[in-house]
């Protein structure tokens, strides 16, 4: 039986790397895919990982019907053995429904990769719909780490190194971006709740207010 599988994890936990590994392994067996992505860091129509791996993909723009795209490719004689989707959190809910239809009507496996919650700890609509419809939801086993060394469970948006909790849900950025622009950082729940990023934690350590006082 074909399945809709949602691989979920925080940023920087290897989602795109696993997606590329699945594509490589199946390609080596002669299986061909349709790869969709949305707002990848490498640009439109790319699926890339932070390890530097990249492959061509179809940009899943809001107006694109994913089911009809796959049907059209197959009707033109193209071989499609499975579908792979990266940055699935950015898809519209109706596009997630289209992925489910690909599984049910075309009998193809669909592997979707994405983060579940945004920087406000709210579910992305695409991720929420995947959780509702997926045959399986798999938590990725490569654990991202907070600056404190604990397991990172939350995604934080930063501006000038400080965590922000307001703004548009989707702003394409990257982990480890320059401090003066919008970036992202993974944190444990404790430090996400306290809004303590690696930059603010370092600033607190260096602050004269916390330096030891010695007497002569």
Residues 44, 56, 63, 87: which is the catalytic one? 87
Is beta strand 109-114 parallel, antiparallel or unpaired with respect to 4-8? parallel
Is 180 known to be catalytic?
no
112 Cβ contact partners less than 8 Å away, ≥ 6 residues apart: 4, 5, 6, 7, 84, 85, 88, 96, 99, 130, 134
Tokens of 73: 């490719």
DSSP run (H or E) holding 145: none
CA angle 3, 4, 6 (to 5 degrees): 130
Whether 160 contacts 179, CB under 8 Å = yes
Catalytic machinery residues: 87
């Amino acid at each position: 039986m074909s399945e809709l599988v949602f691989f979920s994890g925080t940023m920087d936990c290897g989602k795109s790397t696993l997606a590329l590994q699945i594509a490589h392994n199946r390609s080596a067996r002669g299986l061909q895919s349709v790869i969709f992505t949305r707002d990848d860091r490498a640009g439109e129509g790319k699926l890339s990982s932070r390890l530097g791996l990249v492959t061509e993909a179809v940009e899943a723009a809001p107006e694109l019907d994913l089911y009809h795209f796959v049907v059209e490719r197959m009707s033109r004689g193209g071989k499609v053995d499975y579908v792979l989707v990266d940055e699935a959190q950015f898809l519209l809910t109706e596009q997630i429904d289209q992925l489910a239809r690909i599984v049910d009507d075309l009998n193809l496996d669909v592997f979707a990769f994405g983060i579940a919650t945004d920087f406000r700890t709210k579910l992305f609509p695409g991720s929420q719909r995947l959780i509702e419809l997926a045959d399986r939801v798999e938590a990725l086993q490569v654990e991202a780490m907070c600056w404190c060394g604990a397991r990172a469970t939350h995604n934080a948006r930063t501006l000038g190194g400080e965590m922000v909790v307001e703004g548009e849900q989707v702003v394409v950025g990257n982990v480890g971006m320059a401090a003066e622009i919008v970036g992202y950082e993974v944190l444990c729940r404790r430090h996400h709740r306290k809004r303590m990023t690696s930059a603010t934690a370092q600033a607190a350590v260096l602050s004269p207010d916390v330096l030891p006082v010695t007497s002569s």
